[in-house]
Structure 1
Amino acid sequence: MAVQERPVALAGPDRRAQLSLFARNFFKHPRMLGSIIPSSPFLVRRLLERVDWGRARVIVEYGPGVGTITREILNRLHPNATLVVIETNDDFVDFLNRSLYDPRLKVIAGSAEDIQAQLNQLGLPPADYVLAGLPFSTMPAECRERILAASREALGSGGAMLIYQFSPKVSSDLRQTFTRVESDFEPINVPPARLYYCHK
């Protein structure tokens, strides 16, 4: 049964402010963002089409930035589900807290490595999906491996990690960490993106 889409309120900052904040942070932390503009609607749609919205009750998003994907998740999310977004950038955390209000949304200032601790602290069960656009290719190998392993362990039975990247470098790590990995490609994005659907 399809979940009816619900509008997500954007309070205060408009689209121009959203893009400006994203661009400023790209120039400050280019290795953390990977692109000067947020994900295209085509990439967001392709990424989210793999989610079973009728079943999903706990979704975690790493690196939500200015909330481009976050808003689309909330528009599709079941009324009784929870979306946990984990962000290390204080500017983005502040922006999300000011611009999005939804009782299903939990904004966490922290590291993706601590996903299990964050779920425990919120009293939530294992995640149905973990979504990530983190630039894994520019991370130290040890950090990348810890995040992927922690994500796998935080997923429930039948759970999946959905990833988009601008480099194929993470592919081998994904195949070593997850039981099954499917790949896809979205050309209508700046830059074009590779997508990976990783099953526990």
Structure 2
Amino acid sequence: MTMREFLRSPSGVGSAFPASAALVRAALDPVDFSAARLVVEFGPGEGPFTRELLRRMPAGSTLLTIDTSHRFTRYLQESLPDPRLHAVTGSAASLNVILRRLGLGPVDRIVTGIPFSTIAPDLGARILDSSVEALGEQGQIIAYQMRDAVAPLLAARFAEVRTARIWRNMPPCRIYWASGRSG
């Protein structure tokens, strides 16, 4: 399914291949999800991160996934019958509208695979601005990217940005952990 969606919208799908288990572990292992009440995932695709997030999140928490593809949203709804999962078709730039509509917030963690290198720069900025607005005081963004286009966007909005490179993924990815609002 990922390959088909990639061919339909190469600039909107980060990769033709789902995230590897090695990438998922590398991105999520340094993050504490034990007290997370609300986690948001942008661009879940077929859900390799979604499944692991649900495994790590406590009972009674909520995972909101937002994808521009109704096919991915429907797939998640059908394949993951977990009451904590709310899969929505929409734009990550509309995060705060979606949160208000669902009566959710503030957000503890945002995980994103949105390809910031292939979307319009103003859209990337709007997505991160809405993310910063939605995050709680201890909120954090975890981004996995093939390129580094997201790095300056994160650096402009967060006091701390850590990064790592994971080679055991097709294609290799950079991982960013951003926290502490700037200014």
Please say whether Structure 1 and Structure 2 have the same fold, judged by a TM-score greater than 0.5.
yes
Unaligned runs of 5+ in 2: none
Output the CA distance in 2 between the equivalents of 1:90 and 1:162: 23
- The aligned residue for residue 25 of structure 1 is 5
1:109 to 80, 89, 97: 89
Aligned residue identity for 1:135? P
Moved more, 21-30 or 126-135: 21-30
- The aligned residue for residue 165 of structure 2 is 185
Q: How far 1:151 moved relative to its partner?
A: 0.4
Output the CA distance in 2 between the equivalents of 1:26 and 1:115: 23
TM-score after normalising by structure 2: 0.95
- The aligned residue for residue 121 of structure 2 is 141
Paired residues of 2:14 and 2:113 also in contact (CA < 8 A):
no
2:108 to 100, 112, 128: 128
* Larger proportion of helix: 1
Unaligned runs of 5+ in 1: 1-20
- The aligned residue for residue 51 of structure 2 is 71
Q: Secondary structure, in 3 states, of the residue corresponding to 2:88?
A: strand
2:38 to 53, 58, 83: 58
Deviations 1:128-167 (A, max 9, x none): 0000000001111110100011101100011100000000
TM-score after normalising by structure 1: 0.87
> Following TM superposition, where does structure 1 have runs of at least 4 consecutive aligned residues deviating by more than 3 angstroms?
none
Aligned residue identity for 1:24? R
Q: Secondary structure, in 3 states, of the residue corresponding to 1:179?
A: strand
Output the CA distance in 1 between the equivalents of 2:168 and 2:102: 37
Give the greater-gyration-radius structure (CA).
1
Output the CA distance in 1 between the equivalents of 2:14 and 2:40: 20
Mapping 1:92-107, distance limit 5 Å: 92-107=72-87
Q: Secondary structure, in 3 states, of the residue corresponding to 1:101?
A: coil
Identity of aligned residues (%): 40
Aligned residue identity for 1:163? A
Paired residues of 2:34 and 2:56 also in contact (CA < 8 A):
no
Deviations 1:58-81 (A, max 9, x none): 000001111111011111110011
Q: How far 1:35 moved relative to its partner?
A: 1.7
2:18 to 38, 49, 53: 38
